C-alpha cells in the first residue's frame, strides 16, 4: 500500500465534509489570490488561512513537506536565478522599491566579479516566489488528500454540465478523469513492485554507463507497461459487461452544496479578497 499523503485518505475531518465543488473553487480562488498579492504581509495571511485548512484536514507538516521533493530542483533554480545577476547593482536598485524586497530593500549589492554578484532584493524576490509555489502545492495537497477521485470526477461533471447542451459527453470526460486519478497510485505501486522484484534478482540500476543503465531500466518499464495494458483491458471488459455507454448515466451520490460548505466558501473568499485589497 502506498503511503502518500497526496492521495485520498478517508477520514472524518471538517475538510472531508466540505463539498468537492467548493474545495475546487476555493483552490482556484486561493491560487489567484497568491499571484495577485505582492507583499509579505498578504502572503503571511494566506499562509495562516492555509494552516487552518491543513489543521482542519488533520495533515502533519512533515508529511506535506515530502511532496516538495519533485519540485525542489525548480525551486533551487528559481532561487539561484533570482539571487545572482550579471548586473547586480542595477538589479538591486530596480527591486529595492518593491514590497517583496522587505528588509533587503536597503541592502547593497554584493559584487563577486566585475558586475556579477548577489542582489539581496533578488534573493528576497526568489524566496517570495518559492514560498508562493510551496503554498500552492500545500493547498493542492489539502484538496487531493481530502477528496476522493470519485468526488473529483463528480465535481468536474457538475462544472461541465452546461456543456452537455452542445452534445459534449461531459460524463464520459469525468469518468476518464476519475479512472486516470485512480490509476496514478496503482501505477506507482506497480512500479515499486516490479523494481523491487528486479533488484531481488540482482539487477543493478546505478552502475555502468548511461546506456547500460537505460538497458537495466528496460526490465522494469516493459513489465510495467504490460501490466498497465492488462489492467486497462480488464477494466474495459468490466465496463462493457456493465453495459457502459448503452444508456444514460446515473450517480449514487448526487452533487449538492450544503449550507456549511457555502458559508465556508463565502467566508474564505471574503477574507482572500480583503487580503488582496488591503495588503
* Helix 120-146 and helix 72-83, axial crossing angle in degrees, nearest 10: 160
The CA distance from 30 to 272, in Å, is 7
Distance CA 52, CA 34 (A): 16
User: In terms of domains, do 218 and 236 share one?
Assistant: yes
The CA–CA distances, whole Å, from 93 to 89, 125, 203, 229 equal 6, 13, 56, 57
Query: For residues 184 and 33, which has the higher predicted lDDT (pLDDT)?
Result: 33
CB neighbourhood size of 174 (10 A): 23
174 and 268 housed in the same domain: no
Instruction: Tell whether 262 and 217 lie within a shared domain.
Output: no
Give the angle 110-115-120 at the CA atoms, nearest 5°. 30
- Its domain, for residue 267, covers 1-147+256-279
| Residues 20 and 92 both lie in one domain | yes
Based on the fold, state whether residues 58 and 174 are members of the same structural domain: no
User: What does the alpha-carbon distance between residue 120 and residue 106 come to, in Å, rounded to a whole number?
Assistant: 9
* Residues 3 and 121 grouped into a single domain: yes
- All three cell numbers of 145, joined, read 488528500
Are 63 and 75 in the same domain? yes
Residue 118, φ and ψ in degrees, nearest 5: -105, 130
Is the same domain home to 192 and 178? yes
For residue 84, give the C-alpha cell.
545572482
Task: Give dist(CA 52, CA 47) in Å, integer.
Answer: 9
pLDDT of residue 223: 85
Measured in Å, how far apart are the chain's first and last C-alpha atoms? 44
Banded model confidence at residue 3, pLDDT cuts 50, 70, 90 = very low
Q: Give the C-alpha separation, 279 to 110, whole Å.
A: 30
Same domain, 162 and 102: no
For residues 63 and 56, give the distance between their C-alpha atoms in angstroms, rounded to a whole number: 15
Average pLDDT, the chain: 80
Look up the pTM and report it.
0.74
Looking at the 3D structure of the chain, how many domains does it have? Answer: 2
**Residues 166, 194: one domain?**
yes
Query: By the 8 A CB rule, do 83 and 126 touch?
Result: yes
Work out the pLDDT band at 247, boundaries 50, 70, 90.
low
Instruction: Give the per-residue pLDDT at 1.
Output: 40
What is the mean predicted confidence (pLDDT) over 158-163?
81
Q: Are residues 110 and 171 in the same domain?
A: no
Q: What percent of the chain has pLDDT over 90?
A: 8
The verdict on 220 and 267 lying in the same domain is: no
C-beta separation of 150 from 178 below 8 A? yes
Would you list the DSSP string of 227-251? HHHHHHHHHHHHHHHTTTTSS----
- 90-110 pLDDT, tens digit per residue, is 777 777 777 776 677 777 887
Amino acid at each position: 500500500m502506498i503511503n502518500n499523503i497526496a492521495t485520498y485518505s478517508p477520514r472524518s475531518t471538517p475538510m472531508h465534509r466540505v463539498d468537492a465543488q467548493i474545495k475546487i473553487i476555493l483552490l482556484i480562488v486561493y491560487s489567484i489570490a497568491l499571484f495577485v498579492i505582492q507583499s509579505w504581509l498578504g502572503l503571511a495571511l494566506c499562509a495562516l488561512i492555509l494552516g487552518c485548512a491543513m489543521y482542519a484536514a488533520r495533515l502533519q507538516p512533515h508529511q506535506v513537506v515530502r511532496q516538495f521533493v519533485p519540485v525542489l530542483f525548480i525551486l533551487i533554480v528559481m532561487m539561484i536565478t533570482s539571487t545572482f545577476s550579471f548586473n547586480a547593482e542595477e538589479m538591486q536598485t530596480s527591486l529595492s522599491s518593491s514590497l517583496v524586497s522587505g528588509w533587503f530593500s536597503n541592502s547593497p549589492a554584493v559584487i563577486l566579479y566585475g558586475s556579477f554578484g548577489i542582489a539581496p532584493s533578488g534573493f528576497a524576490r526568489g524566496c517570495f516566489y518559492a514560498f508562493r509555489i510551496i503554498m500552492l502545492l500545500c493547498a493542492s495537497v489539502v484538496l487531493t488528500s481530502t477528496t476522493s477521485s470519485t468526488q473529483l470526477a463528480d465535481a468536474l461533471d457538475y462544472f461541465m454540465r452546461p456543456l452537455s447542451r452542445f452534445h459534449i459527453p461531459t460524463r464520459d470526460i469525468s469518468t476518464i478523469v476519475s479512472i486516470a486519478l485512480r490509476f496514478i497510485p496503482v501505477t506507482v505501486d506497480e512500479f515499486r513492485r516490479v523494481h523491487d522484484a528486479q533488484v531481488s534478482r540482482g539487477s543493478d540500476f546505478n552502475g555502468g554507463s548511461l546506456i547500460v543503465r537505460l538497458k537495466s531500466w528496460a526490465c522494469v518499464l516493459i513489465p510495467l507497461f504490460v501490466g498497465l495494458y492488462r489492467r486497462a483491458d480488464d477494466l474495459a471488459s468490466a465496463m462493457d459487461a456493465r453495459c457502459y455507454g448503452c444508456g444514460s448515466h446515473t450517480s449514487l451520490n448526487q452533487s449538492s452544496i450544503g449550507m456549511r460548505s457555502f458559508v465556508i466558501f463565502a467566508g474564505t473568499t471574503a477574507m482572500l479578497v480583503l487580503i488582496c485589497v488591503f495588503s
